[in-house]
Amino acid sequence: MLNVQLLLTGNELMSGDIVDSNSAMIAQNLAEIGVAIKRKVTVSDEFSDLVSEIELMSQQADLLIINGGLGPTVDDLTAVALAEVAKLEIVQHPEALAHLTDWCEKRNFKLNEPNLKQTMLPNGCEVVPNAIGSAVGFKLNINQCDVYCTPGVPVELKLMLAEQIIPSVESQLPTVSHHHVSRYQVFGIGESSLQKLVDEQLPDWPEDIELGFRASMPILELKLTSKTALAKLNKAKWLDKIRALIGDHIVGEITDKPKSFGEHIQHLLRAQNKKITFAESCTGGMLASAMTRISGASEVFDASFVTYSNLMKQNIVNVSPQTLEKYGAVSKETVIEMAMGALDRTQANLVVSVSGVAGPTGGSDEKPVGTVWIAWGEKENLNTTCLYIPGNRYYFQHYVTAISLDLVRRMLINSNEIPKYLIERQKA
């Protein structure tokens, strides 16, 4: 297997002033051709550190991608450091000069001294064209390792990877790769519970299909990676076994990028020609916002209410004062009346209403912080549940929003399952 390593350079990366997204981009591009990065090192623009890392990494790796440090300022030391390790002179590269001259002419820029620095490269290196920026990339073999030096500007790097580096690496790979990744969205089962289920129920899980997770709030990502030709063929079968274990906790397959609940529900509502509305207390607008963040919301959503105070629950969604007096704002009776009021006012087909104690204040013995009543469904088919979701306010609001939308999703796909969270979180 190819030993691939990544060296990132830049003071701004070390200080935390910017978040490094380039290495994720490089890793994703390599993953598409079945190549994994073994090790990644980040250093500041300190010459001696750069030199020693390049020396060490080129000894270990078959392929080393260096990112950053190609720019025009004194901080940009990649070329000089590489020349030092390779014991080569730094010379003006004619191809790099031609590129820069052309680049400046096209933009009506005067070629200046700092820019010229970008044409000074280790003698004998191969230029890697940069379709956008002024600094070319370059490639050199040191210690039997192919070293690519790439620009730190994300759009430049992206094009260079797609057009130059990935095709070149792929052409050197020994055989066709069997590496294949499928990804799924899972809601309502945590990483450890899912791992435990697989361990217990599927003890013969094959070694050449890797089960991975990516925790992301609120929807977990489940990843199946096949590593052999056989595994690639068998993967669907093993996925079916997972489906048998967790059913509709699988929200969907990720084909492009992960979808939010708002997207899933908009899609389902549109297909069924239905509209939704909300009457929110403790989520305070988060449910409405989850729907309207997604373009096309107007086809499935007309209006929504945030009724935070008791008086507004009465005046806006017609909860009766008697109900509030007798059962309180956080009650089955109140969320039912909120839901009915919102349906009446908007003529929507579906509704979610929520009323709970988000905290940190406002809890009581009977209704502690984390208690929430949810009503969801249609006028003639309204369900309710009372859940207990302790934790902080942020977690509570986001999780109540996610559960509410998942309950709607399950209704829209006619699921008969009882989701795990309704069993575990239900308040006695």
CB environment 291-301: b (16+ within 10 A), e (fewer): beebeebeebb
Which of 1, 17, 175, 273 is the binder for its own copies (CB under 8 A)?
Answer: 17
Quote the least distance from Cβ 342 to its own copies, whole Å: 11
Nearer to its own copies, 16 or 174 (CB): 16
* Contact range with its own copies by CB under 8 A, out of 245-253, 265-273, 333-341, 391-399: 391-399
Question: What are the distances in angstroms from CA 323 to CA 215, 331, 342, 371?
Answer: 41, 9, 16, 18
Using CA atoms, how far apart are residues 185 and 214, in angstroms rounded to an integer? 10
x-or-dash string of contact with its own copies, 66-95, rule CB under 8 A: -----xxxxx--------------------
x-or-dash string of contact with its own copies, 146-185, rule CB under 8 A: -------x--------------------------------
Q: What are phi and psi of 253, to 5 degrees?
A: -85, 145
- Show contacts with its own copies in window 229-258 (CB under 8 A): none
x-or-dash string of contact with its own copies, 399-428, rule CB under 8 A: -------------------------xx---
What does the angle CA 371 – CA 345 – CA 341 come to, to the nearest 5 degrees?
A: 35
| Contact present, 145 and 182 (Cβ < 8 Å) | no
In the block, residue with structure tokens 């000894």: 59
Q: Does position 201 bind its own copies by CB under 8 A?
A: no
Q: Which ranges in 62-110 belong to alpha helices (H)?
A: 78-86, 94-107
Nearer to its own copies, 375 or 387 (CB): 387
Q: Does position 263 bind its own copies by CB under 8 A?
A: no
- Show contacts with its own copies in window 95-134 (CB under 8 A): 106-109, 112-115, 132
- Show contacts with its own copies in window 23-52 (CB under 8 A): 23-29, 31, 36-44, 49
Question: What are the distances in angstroms from CA 220 to CA 168, 174, 187, 291, 403?
Answer: 35, 35, 6, 20, 13
- Show contacts with its own copies in window 338-377 (CB under 8 A): 345-346, 358-361
Q: Write down how long the chain is.
A: 428
- Cα–Cα nearest to 399, from 301, 290, 320: 290
Nearer to its own copies, 48 or 172 (CB): 48
Q: Does position 321 bind its own copies by CB under 8 A?
A: no
Residue 28, token pair as written in the block: 């994703």
Nearer to its own copies, 88 or 116 (CB): 116
Nearer to its own copies, 17 or 381 (CB): 17
